[in-house]
Structure 1
Amino acid sequence: MKILDIVHQFNDGRTHISRGICRVRYFVGPAGTVVLLTDLGDKNDGQSVTNAVEVIIKSLLDQGYIISPATFIEHYERSDWASDSFDKVTLAPHAEWEKLSRSRVMEMIGDEDGELSDRSATNPRIVSQADRLLFRHDPFIGSRYPESNEVTKRRLEIIENMISKTSVDALVQSGSGEQELQRLLKTDLSIFGEAYAKPDDEYICFSEFPLADGFVDFVVFTGRSRMDIILIEVKGAEFNLLNANHYKAFNHKITEAAGQISQRLGIIFRDLNSFRKEAHAIRRRAESGERPYNAFLGPRSKLGVDPDKDINIRCVVVGGRTQNDLEESIKRQDYEAHTTPPVRVESWDTWLRRLQRI
């Protein structure tokens, strides 16, 4: 027979601050008093039942919830209740564990099978009790850790001046040319950070960036440890990505843009070390407040990159309209796999799918 079923709060055993919680069920059955100590997983903001078992047992006895003698069983719930683990805990004088089968535990508590299949995570009463205790520990538990005021301020500035996805899509739908699309995109370079930055919010974007004997339309610096440099060439939306003939080749504007990037990178790779040093020098200037090549800083503009490590260079060409998504996807993947360095081709339709903004 079940006598008690509560969420119990216990101290961490070192500072004696209430920090952990577990589910406690108290049965009187054929084996006498049996106490099931169920770990609450993500709901437990303190030590696991295993690590805190001596503290838990002592607190239950001290507070009078349990009267000795009693048998204590450590219980961990799994996604499949038949896979739950059970261990008898004996304090002699320190905790010792003895594995028990589910059937043996059922015998000890009086064959109450429904009790062992009752998931704590889906029991409204247990969840409610756990949440009350967690919010008492920390009123903002589960909330994102507050970011610095500087990051928040920059994030709000970016949002205030952000161009909408709808405005870009309107130009694409009307078949706008390269210059018209670039004119809009240059007013808010955060759109490229949103599309390519990893980690999110850690980026510096540029426009009209010098590369070898020419310029690249847009560039994104991002990454951790090794800096990722994404080179982006933008073409218009007044043509289909693939030609309509039986060859189904990319439109010549796409291949020309890809060829220009590849040619310039060929020059860069002959002295990649010098390009790496120059790129990091530009990064440092942008981070210090200068605006080389229309530098646009993301919310977390101090990139966590190592200037002495190799850089990763990626190339993207965006242009044209999608007519057959599957056919074009195969063509784009094949093209990227067979260009050196690899060039990723995107239509405006596929590129717009990257954006989270409205």
Structure 2
Amino acid sequence: MKLSDFIFQFPIGIAHTRQGLCRVRTFFAPQSGVTALLTDIGEFAVGSSITNSVEHIHQALLLRGMIPPDARVVEHYERPDSDGGSFSRVSFGPTGDPSWTRMSMQDALSTLSCDSSEFKSSTAMSLRLVAEIERLRNAIDPFADAPWLEEPEIVNRRETIESGMISKAMLSQLVNAGATERQLQELLKQDPSFFGEVYGDPHEEYIVLAEYPLADGFIDFVVFTGRSRMEVVLIEIKGADFFLVNDDSYAEFSHKVNQAAGQIRRRIGAIYRDMSTFRRYAHKVRHAVESGAARHGAFMGPHPKLLVDPDKDIEIRSVVIGGRTRDDFSESKKRHDFEHGMSPPIRIESWDTWIRKLQRQ
């Protein structure tokens, strides 16, 4: 018995920053329960095939409550020269990795509890589904059919970054275990794309630097990003082995957070007292990194150059990340008041609030 039939938009890749489309039909059979049939929509698709994205489709359907946790998954490719197309049962291991088992048409019909008439018409023959595909394709990329391709170096760099990404779950596990500042530093230096993901604007146009020299010390991490005017994000981190706000009648920020804010405030003061020198050095570092030099543990986003003008003013932003959230509602007001009470403002994040900003899983 068929329960639903719709076009599904799903995330692609570890970072979940791109989108794909497929057709999803759900069926119920007494002997097999709910089955999700994932149909590749061929030339109508954007992004990758369902085979290359099946684990992301499955996870997205679960997260959105569209299928139950015990639902079976069947992969389906329509074929114009065959009766119904090809079918494969998809199984997921403990870590979510998929494996495929080919199914005959008869096995598929039995699992889905439907008859062959379900597959006599292709997706392209349904005016309702084609209209929905076109709506979603345009929402994802209004120029999807334009004859434009990204440069190979951008594609290759993106794939390199994604293949080396550390998961959000791994960072969360470390934070939940009360990691020290050093432990978090080590993890984030292994994958600086965490910072590019949160602060890169435009998306994927960033350079992340570690232990950036400034005044009489160093900034833990710095992000260069922006268009025309370069934006510089200064980031100081502390451990996750304390609470952001003290548990007493004063409810002040932890001394470690205040210490980090004091450090970054002094660095910002040094910048504003000699902004031209800071700007020249920042662009000198940027140019060197874009030319292939290894400076301050530099990590480039997918785009090989930032489209910024070295003669224009730069924008400075600053962030302190540290501690754990105890009461999100009251702490959010306190963080807001702190940021707006500073000039220039300093953003305060607990590890809990900062991790929520990540798109990756």
Q: TM-score, normalised by structure 2?
A: 0.60
4+ residue runs of structure 1 moved beyond 2 angstroms?
Answer: 124-132, 140-146
- State the Cα distance separating 1:146 from its structure 2 match: 2.7
Give the superposition deviation at 1:223.
0.4
2:146 maps to 1:146 = no
Q: Secondary structure at the match of 1:273?
A: helix
Q: How many residues align?
A: 229
1:311 aligned to which of 300, 306, 314: 314
Corresponding residue for residue 348 of structure 1: 351
Q: Which residue matches 1:284?
A: 287
Do the aligned residues in 2 keep the contact of 1:176 with 1:236 (CA within 8 Å)? Answer: yes
- For residues 234 and 131 of structure 1, the distance between their equivalents in structure 2, rounded to whole angstroms, comes to 44
Distance 2:260 2:166 in 1: 25
Aligned letter for 1:187? Q
Gaps of 5+ in 1: 1-123
CA 256–289 in structure 1, closer or farther in 2 if over 3 Å, else same: same
1:324 corresponds to which residue? 327
Quickly say closer, same or farther: Cα 1:290–1:240, change in 2 above 3 A: same
- Residue in 1 aligned with 2:297? 294
How far apart, CA to CA, are the structure 1 residues paired with 2:304 and 2:294? 13
Match of 1:29 in 2: none
SS of residue matched to 1:292: coil
Whichever of the two has the greater Rg, that structure is 1
- The Cα offsets for residues 6-34 of structure 1, whole Å up to 9 and x where unpaired, read as xxxxxxxxxxxxxxxxxxxxxxxxxxxxx
Q: CA deviation at 1:323?
A: 1.0
Partner residue of 1:334 out of 332, 337, 344? 337
Q: Deviations over 1:144-194 (max 9, x none)?
A: 853111100000110111111111111100001100111111001111000
Q: Aligned equivalents of 1:223 and 1:338: distance in 2?
A: 25
Q: How far off its partner does 1:227 sit?
A: 0.4
Aligned Cα root-mean-square deviation (Å): 2.2
Taking a change above 3 Å as real, the CA distance of residues 126 and 205 of structure 1, as seen in their structure-2 partners, is closer
Contact 1:262 1:340 (C-alpha < 8 Å) held by counterparts: no
Q: Shift of the alpha carbon at 1:339?
A: 1.3
The residue aligned with 2:44 is none
Specify whether residues 246 and 162 from structure 1 end up closer, same or farther in structure 2 by C-alpha distance, changes over 3 A only: same
The residue number in structure 1 matching 2:179 is: 176
Structure 2 unmatched ranges of 5 or more: 1-125
Counterpart residue identity of residue 331, structure 1: K
The alpha carbon displacement at 1:357 in A equals 1.0
* TM-score normalised by length of structure 1: 0.61
The correspondence for 2:232, drawn from 206, 211, 229, is 229
Q: Indicate which of 206, 209, 221 corresponds to 2:209.
A: 206
Alignment correspondent of 2:249: 246
> Which residue number corresponds to residue 165 of structure 1?
168
CA separation of 1:294 and 1:244: change in aligned 2, threshold 3 A = same
Q: 1:127: Cα distance to partner?
A: 8.2
Partner of 1:260: 263
2:242 partner letter: F
